[in-house]
Amino acid sequence: MYVSIWCHNLNLSSRSLAIALVVCVTLVYFSYSFNACLFESISRSLQQSNLRNLLTLQRRNVSSEPVKDAGTAPEATSSTAIMPNSTGSAASIGSGIASVDGAPKYQMLRQQGLRPSRHLPDTLIIGVKKSGTRALLEFIRLHPDVRAAGSEVHFFDRHYQRGLRWYRHHMPYTIEGQITMEKTPSYFVTKEVPQRVYHMNPATKLLIVVRDPVTRAISDYTQAASKKADMKRFEQLAFVNGSYSVVDTNWGPVKIGVYARYLEHWILYFPLSQLLFISGERLIMDPAYEIGRVQDFLGLKRVVTEKHFYFNATKGFPCLFKSEARSTPHCLGKTKGRNHPHIDANAIERLREFYRPFNNKFYQLTGINFAWP
């Protein structure tokens, strides 16, 4: 009898234990499922919040950086890079920089983590007008490590009061290792410019293209005459009272050719080691040679060579097989290689006599004999 009661109680305890175990397992399962769902929901919310914050930040970055080369940027007193906005996220601007620069390669650069930014120029082409400065700029910017402002900015002679912030924002975007360059030929003859450039960066490298000052004066006159139909003849403007005995040194095309006078202002602030003089005549006849010298001077690998040029016999001027802007053969423009008017031989000879002592002084200052007639 006692055995029967004990067995009955044992069966009842086993069922209770099994039921309790099932209930516990069920509670654990529902608790785990609930907590997992809650954690996933919280995680999703945090991710969405971070994404919204990131998109908001990028929109602010884009709106803070204009997509044209005009406006202002942070002040700088040297060529050190300053990022376009306070977050330093110029690379994340995406299409903003690509649209400014117009170069698809910057999309690849951003993907590689490189951050294009604007710098003050490392190098200036400061002159001389009508000696080949545009040709020099177009030829050297074939180099992938050279980026240049497309037009003459005239900061140091006309817009200096606007400040370095304004100037820097007119420079192209560059990445680490690239040189920023600007060309304004009137810098060479403007008295205040050497000191102003020195204050920006005393280590600035300066490129100066020079040519026979008589030929340069005629080229200068030819350009002006092409814009003014009733312009007086060259001989009337180059000499006082129509006589070849007295040269009019106040006339711009004649005055600019006294190179030594202007160079003396520059070497007060910059050593000759920071100046490179390029022969305008040789730049036309052998562009690869002169561009090779420029690349060496700037510490660049010689990438631009004779394979980039061909000579146009009609224009009498070197042209390009391709350039940064165009992938097809082309010349620099209709104004390059323009035919000069006939000038009286006696007037030319008188001008050569006038320039000869100034040329010799220029040879002494530079240590280069350009062998002008």
Output the known binding site for 3'-phosphoadenylyl sulfate.
130-134, 211, 219, 336-340
Task: Please say whether the beta carbons of 200 and 78 come within 8 A.
Answer: yes
The conformation of residue 1, written as its DSSP 8-state character, comes to -
Give me the catalytic one of 129, 130, 183, 205. 130
Choose among 134, 115, 135, 124: nearest CA to 177: 115
Strands 275-279, 117-118: pairing is: unpaired
Binding-site residue positions: 130-134, 211, 219, 336-340
CA of residue 344 relative to chain centroid, distance: 43
**How far apart, in whole angstroms, are the C-alpha atoms of residue 42 and residue 305?**
62
The string over 106-135, giving b where at least 16 C-beta atoms fall within 10 Å of a residue's C-beta and e elsewhere, is beebbeeeebbbbbbbbbbbbbbbbbbbbb
- Tokens, residue 133: 């400065």
**How far apart, in whole angstroms, are the C-alpha atoms of residue 101 and residue 94?**
12
- Tokens, residue 207: 């490129």
Place of tokens 């192209």: 172
Task: Please say whether the beta carbons of 204 and 124 come within 8 A.
Answer: yes
- Give the ranges where the chain is alpha helix by DSSP (H): 2-64, 95-101, 105-111, 133-140, 163-168, 193-200, 213-227, 234-238, 252-255, 259-266, 280-285, 287-297, 345-366
Q: How big is the chain, counted in residues?
A: 373
- Tokens, residue 126: 């400061």
Give the distance between the most distant pair of CA atoms in the chain. Answer: 155
CA of residue 371 relative to chain centroid, distance: 34
Measured from the Cβ of residue 173, the count of other Cβ atoms closer than 10 Å reads 22
Place of tokens 């001027």: 317
**361 tagged catalytic:** no
Question: DSSP string of 327-344?
Answer: SS-B-S-TTTTPPPPP--
Catalytic site positions: 130
